[in-house]
Structure 1
């Protein structure tokens, strides 16, 4: 069996593909739901603003992700996966929109949100791109007419 080519004759044609349209619509629905939902954000060991404990983050391929969980059970699965189930996990409850619109830009580095990251395909990643985070925090926004490759 031949692998599909990485090159596409007409990239614009992909935008009209019914599967692509369906997936974009589903992602938009999930993003809207996340923005309206309060999630649990564990506190990390690093200081945050005003010397309070900051949010728990993980860096992956040059992008920082704020770790968020839909409920205490999802946080417990993460703790178990890390082998840290027995310790106490302090967390804040934060609206998803506040994470994307306030916490991500405040990070000062390319930053997104990883929701329920111990749940495999049931987890969700909100990368720092236009349409998800404010344009000023997006790594793909245009600067001077050219797409920005990073900060």
Structure 2
């Protein structure tokens, strides 16, 4: 099953969290790059967590661009596996970080928060030694 199908199943109450995370880790995602000097992956902070934006395809990224009122410009992005996002990128971010997938899709968005089983344990907010 593809990631979008796993997300839909999860939203419908028929999904399995382990399968969803597994598909996320195996999926090639599009992570938009910030414009201007410094670049980096586009993200936002909400609730004390930095959420890195990622999209399952160019159409989902285009919907995000439209929602931001920037659908008329070209968006540069990095194609990256979900596993690489959480295993390599999240640990480089200062503070709690997770991945927000397809955030412009009301019924297709999914957050992968900074918890054990999704991000490396050292970065998880729910690890045993976190307080």
TM-score (norm 1): 0.74
- The total of aligned residue pairs comes to 118
Choose the corresponding residue for 1:29, options 19, 24, 27. 19
Q: Output one character per residue of 1:58-91: Cα deviation in whole Å (capped at 9) or x when no partner.
A: 1101100000000000000000111110011000
Give the corresponding residue for 2:52.
66
Runs of 4+ off more than 2 Å: none
Hey, which of these two has a bigger chunk of strand by percent? 1
In structure 1, distance between residues paired with 2:106 and 2:44: 16
Choose the corresponding residue for 2:79, options 71, 89, 93. 93
> What is the RMSD of the two structures over their aligned residues, measured on CA atoms?
1.6
* Paired residues for 1:56-135 under 5 Å: 56-135=42-121
In structure 1, distance between residues paired with 2:93 and 2:23: 23
Q: Greater relative contact order: 1 or 2 (C-alpha under 8 angstroms, separation 6 or more)?
A: 2
Gap runs ≥5 in structure 1: 1-22, 48-52
